Amino acid sequence: MRYFWLCGLMLMVGLAKGEAIEQTKMLDQLHEEAKQAFVAADYPTALTKWQSALNQARLLNQPEYISKFLVNLGVIHYQQGHYQPALHHYQQALAIDRERQDKSAQSADLVNIGLVNYSLGQYQVALDYYQQALTLQAASGDQLGKGNILGNISLVYNSLGEYPAAVTYGEQALALHREHHDQQAIGDDLSNLGMVYDNLGEYTQALNYYQQAFAIRKELGDRYGMANSLANLGTAYQKVSNYPEALNYYQQALEIQKEVDDQGGMGKTLTNLGTIADSLGQYPQALEYYQQALLIHTKLGDQASLASNLANIGVVYDNLGQYQSALTYYQKSLDIQTAIGDQQGVGQTLSNLGIVYQNLGDFSSALTHYQQALKIQRDLGDKAGEANTLTNLGVVYNSQGQYPQALVHYSDALEIQQALGDKQRIGNNFSNLGVLYYNLGQSEPALGYLLQALTIRREIGDKVGESTDLGHLGVVYDSLDLSAKALTTYQQALASKQALKDKRGEEIVLSHLGALYANLGNYPAALEHFQPALQIDRELGDRQGEGADLANMGLIYQKLGQLQQAYTALQESVKQLDELGTDKRWYAHRGLATIQVQLNQNEAALTQYEQAIDIIEKLRTNLQDKTDKLAFISDKLYVYDEFITLLQALHQEHPNQGYDRKALEIFERKQGRIFLEEIGKSGATRFGRLPETITQQERSLTEQYSITQADLVAARNKPLLEQDQARIKTFTQQLATLTAEQTHLQNDIQQHYPDYYALKYPQPASVTALQNEVLQPDERLLIYAVMAHQTILWVVGPQQLAIFTLPLGEDKLRELVAYIRDVIINRLPEFVEESEPLYQLLLPESVQPLLAQAHTLYVVPTGPLYMLPFETLVTHTTEANIPHYLVEKYSISYLSSASLLKILREVQSRRQIQPNKKLLAFADPAYSSCQESATSRTVARARTVSQVRTKAYRDVLGAVCFPSLPETAAEANAIAALFNSTDNDLYLGKAANLKTLFQLNQANQLSDYRYVLFATHGLLPYEVDGLAQAALVLSHPETEGYLTTAKAFMLQLNADFINLSACNTGGGEKINGEGVMGLTRAFMYAGTSAIGVTLWSVESSSAENMSVGIFENLTQGHKAAEALRQIKLKMISGKANQPYYRHPFYWAPFVVYGDSSALAAKRQ
């Protein structure tokens, strides 16, 4: 609450006092008696006297008296918060004064009407009346009256949040009053300007104005005004969390108000004292202050202040967690505000009710109340209130895991707050955005927003906000594994919270410290922090905080071996968080599941894990952006792994209960979901059977979303201080609108075109579907779930399903794969002795019978296995010590998930248009000549000797330089010779450029080719400075750019097979739960079910031999994986171009991803 002096009110009272026209002694006597009662705050007596005087004046037909008494009656009603009766009296007075043509009185009436509308929150209406009054004052030349009105206009703009305008009008008023040496008015102007700077967060400036106002009032001996100034100074110090100084000023103000018997001032100061006690967590003391203020407001009949104090009591009960009591008091406040027409108060109380319902976990009711408040605030032009409610809406959406919606509301609020210059709330929203990005798993942007918030807090002296941001920063530092920094930051936050006596904040920091100590393995210290946090939450009645504390304590008790205590804590946590419906309840369900496993309550644990994953996936569905989905799921994958591990253990005990099947289906819910969705959308776009109007609408929405998303990402990627928040808000709102339109269209498609919907929005495949609808009799799936301490393998065929536990943790497997790759690349002699044991580990003897009838293996690798070519595994050696490779028995293809094979085949089954040409090739690109130097000549000689197609030439030469690849032209021509010349289009040399590729794409000609070849250099992310994606290097990349992963996603192909005959084309960014994000995905999305890529740098001449051999075998009717297998067998047998090609170095890096059966199926 703020206590300040209203110029308009002084003008009214002065008018009532100053207009004494002696008509009759009786009228004068009644008027004097009423005045005395009014000054003594005896409003009922004053009201009765003036009403009697008014009645007599009407009998005597005395217009001046009638006007005066109407005004004074209006003043009494206004003082009591009876705004509608006050307005009624003022309007009657205005009508009489217009009849009398008394412009001075009319101006006063207009000011009074403006003041009532101001108090009702009708700011634009108030502004209109003040402007009318100002026009009359200008005509009369009354400069002092003009100054008073300018001061009132300043107050309106302040309430509208238009602070620059408020300052302008306030300074104009101050100048006029100084010109006329009106010290009383100067004090009022200074006080009002202090209030504006207070709202701007410029507290030093605000204090300066308040102190000047106090000095003037002290000089005048204005005890009322001195008390007001002292109260304002208290408010300013309260804003910067300097509670001792604030209390000092409030107590001084209260002493003066008691001395002069200023009942109204006492009520306001007691209210202010209550807000400090509330902020310090001293809730009984706060209630005592509010109750004292309530008695005074009731006695005075001040309905507006009464409603305000009832709301303040509601705030205390909300903080205490006594939500029903809070609702009761808020409802009482709302009833009064509605009765007196206080729309601004109604909006604020509705917003407060929303907070209570949010704390109760009733998000639906919270949203309803916030939306009602928002409408009122927008109707009133209450920008500050609107921004607060938008922020509250953002908090609800954030709590529900609806992060895009939260972002929209935070951004809208931030734009308003920046326009208002409201630094404190700008800091609040930067802090909210930091928390939001942390929840999304994006720690770096979270850190940026929180540091910016902290800078603002320190700039304006907001101690409470600073301590809160320190706590949030500790969380982010902890997530970045900066434990020491996190600990220091938490300790600073805790000391600050304790100094401020902020119990709620103290609890939050204690919880964070407990989590940090738990992560460091110091469980006793963790418990020492969680226990007082829990106690505070229970004192405050914070059920959500209590539920989180119980979950954390349960997991600590588990680590300490106190399982029964752990079980009790987690069971209560689940109960509370489920009742509240918070976005973190998955954490409690997962924790309870781990305890139940230890207590051998396995069936109950299965239920808890299932619920945890269901909650996680529901939250995931609320996200549209791929980056957000990846970040969100990244720190929750362990829940899936734990569930799978439990199911595997149960399968070993009960092999006929279907636990192996359930385990695989949980793995499919975890693995490669984004790629699965991308392929579904691509296939639906190319082969879906929808009416053209719907197809066009869907395509248009997708394109608009992609463009807007790219614009938003670009805007956010700028340094924080350079970000254009208005543009970010616009893009965010556009995305929200597009998302709503897409959702509506999706629902319509799901209802009327279910087959298309199933294709475009694929779900993880069930084991039954894989066995009955996907796999052929000679096909097997080998699905590897690599975990920290073990690897689980599923073997799936039409009639087969088995699960195996392999003694290979992720670290051990990474070491083995890295070593076998190193042995192959460096052609070391110990290859066989390293490869055969790895084969026995990955495909143990017990697996072999399940593969007896198989010809094609589909391998789903995870973790380090992404970089292992299974074809090179040595199954055994002959008597002549010749190695026998896995590829000699099976053709092998790779997938990101088993579900991907299902969706690839569904896409192919809907393929309506067959390509009419055979081959499109881009080869032998034109590169700028590398500078001749000793170094470059050395590199050139090395290349001549080893003929490695791409290595780190750029690093060696110190520049972006790509050696020419003339052998790739021969490669492309040799492949083209396999087809009729009219069926081929080869782009060699300068023609092999990015511009040509995208011209073909723009003309929809890329989909004309059955086979596509790129024989170029290939790049991994960051091999070239600034290039963050895997890429192919076409002609003159220095001017035309690279064919990056993102650009490849934009192509529109319809190929049976694409061969990326370059180095490292199977590489990219490795992401847990998704696999490798690189060119493989991009080209499969662009339009192919099978693609040939390389797992490391390749030798150039053998690459040519391999590529030509693949296409030759394709023309003979082989499937993609079998075509690759046949050329590898030829090389292994020594029958290829060079006998030394039998070594894995020359053939191992080439692999096929995708559905290798598509070609054969079409030919059959």
**Residue-averaged pLDDT of the chain:** 85
Percent above pLDDT 70 for the chain: 90
Higher-confidence position of 920 and 934: 920
Q: What is the mean pLDDT of residues 724-735?
A: 76
Q: What distance lies between CA 1104 and its chain's CA centroid?
A: 48
When pLDDT is cut at 50, 70 and 90, the band that residue 951 belongs to is very low
Centroid of chain to Cα 216 = 50
Residue 60 near residue 23 (C-beta atoms within 8 A): yes
Give the pLDDT confidence score for residue 321 in this predicted structure: 66
pLDDT of 88-133, one tens digit each? 999 999 999 999 888 888 889 999 999 998 888 888 899 999 999 8
Task: Reply yes or no on whether the pLDDT at 1159 is more than 70.
Answer: no
Quickly count helices (H) and strands (E) in the chain: 53, 18
- Tokens 């890329």 belong to which residue? 1006
Q: Do domains 1-138 and 262-341 have the same CATH topology?
A: yes
Q: What is the 3-state secondary structure (H, E, C) of 578-644?
A: HHHCCCCHHHHHHHHHHHHHHCCCHHHHHHHHHHHHHHHHHHHHCCCCHHHHHHHHHCCHHHHHHHH
CATH of domain 1-138: 1.25.40.10
383: confidence class by pLDDT, cuts 50, 70, 90: confident
**Position 10 confidence tier, pLDDT thresholds 50, 70, 90:** very low
pLDDT in tens, 255-290: 999 999 888 899 999 999 998 888 776 788 999 999
Indicate the SS3 state at residue 883.
strand
pLDDT tens figures, 1012-1057: 999 999 998 888 877 878 899 999 888 888 898 888 888 989 999 9
Per cent of the chain over pLDDT 90 is 43
Whether residue 1011 has pLDDT greater than 90: yes
Rg (CA), the chain: 38
What is the 3-state secondary structure of 1081-1120? HHHHHHHECEEEEECCCCEHHHHHHHHHHHHHHHHCCCCH
- List, in order, residues 6 or more apart from 851 with CB less than 8 Å away: 780, 795, 843, 857, 890
Query: Can you spell out the DSSP letters for 786-840?
Result: E-SS-EEEEEE-SS-EEEEEES--HHHHHHHHHHHHHHHHTT-TTHHHHHHHHHH
1098-1148 pLDDT, tens digit per residue, is 888 888 889 999 999 999 989 999 999 999 999 999 998 888 999 999 999
Q: Which residues, 6 or more positions from 737, have their beta carbon under 8 angstroms from its beta carbon?
A: none
Q: What average pLDDT does range 499-523 have in this prediction?
A: 88
> φ and ψ at 1044, to 5 degrees?
-80, 170
Q: Which is nearest to 198 in space by CA: 180, 219, 220, 213?
A: 213
Q: Which two tokens stand for residue 584?
A: 């973190």
Closest residue by Cα to residue 111 from 46, 169, 156: 156
pLDDT of residue 136: 87
689 pLDDT band, cuts 50/70/90, is low
Q: What is the pLDDT of residue 755?
A: 65
Task: Please state the φ and ψ torsions of residue 897, each to the nearest 5 degrees.
Answer: -160, 160
According to the model, what pLDDT value does residue 1065 have? 85
Q: What is the Cα–Cα distance from 200 to 805, expressed in whole angstroms?
A: 64
* pLDDT exceeds 80 at position 304: yes
- The interaxial angle of helices 223-239 and 183-199, nearest 10 deg, is 10
Model pLDDT for residues 1063-1084, shown as the tens digit of each residue = 888 877 777 777 677 888 888 8
pLDDT digits (tens, 9 = 90+) for 562-571: 999 999 999 9
Cβ neighbourhood burial of 475 (10 Å; 0-12, 13-18, 19+): buried
pLDDT at 783: 95
pLDDT surpasses 90 at 82: no
Residue 1162 has pLDDT above 50, yes or no: no
pLDDT digits (tens, 9 = 90+) for 399-451: 767 778 888 899 889 888 888 777 888 888 999 999 988 888 888 889 999 99
Which whole number is the average pLDDT over 164-190? 90
Residues 363 and 396 sit within 8 Å (Cβ to Cβ): yes
Lowest mean pLDDT among 319-328, 718-727, 1124-1133: 718-727
41 three-state secondary structure: coil
The separation between CA 470 and the C-alpha centre of its own chain, rounded to angstroms, equals 20
- 603: amino acid identity, one letter: E
Q: Which pLDDT score, from 0 to 100, does residue 278 have?
A: 82
For residue 361, what pLDDT is reported?
Answer: 64
Least confident of 3-12, 37-46, 303-312, 882-891: 3-12
Query: Binning pLDDT at 50, 70 and 90, where does residue 206 land?
Result: confident
Average pLDDT of 773-802? 95
The widest CA-to-CA distance across the chain, in whole angstroms, is 136
Contacts of 447 (CB under 8 A, 6+ apart): 434, 473, 476, 480
Residue 606: pLDDT above 80? yes
Could you read off the pLDDT of 448-502 as tens digits, one per residue? 999 999 998 888 777 878 888 999 999 999 888 899 999 999 999 999 888 877 7
What fold characterizes domain 343-421? 1.25.40
pLDDT tier, 932 (very low <50, low <70, confident <90, very high otherwise)? very low
Q: For residue range 799-855, what is the model confidence (pLDDT) as tens digits?
A: 999 999 999 999 999 999 999 999 999 988 888 888 999 999 999 999 999 999 999
| pLDDT, position 845 | 94
pLDDT score, position 1040: 81
CATH of range 262-341; options 1.10.10.60, 3.40.50.150, 3.30.565.10, 1.25.40.10: 1.25.40.10
Which amino acid, 594?
A: T
> Any idea where the domains of the chain sit in the sequence?
1-138, 262-341, 343-421, 690-752, 916-1163
**Residue 7 has what pLDDT?**
31
Bridge partners, 877 (sequence order): 883
Return the DSSP state at 1044.
Answer: E
CB-based burial of residue 349 (10 Å sphere; 0-12 exposed, 13-18 middle, 19+ buried)? buried
CATH 3.20.20.70 at 916-1163, yes or no: no
- In sequence order, the β-bridge partners of residue 780 are 857
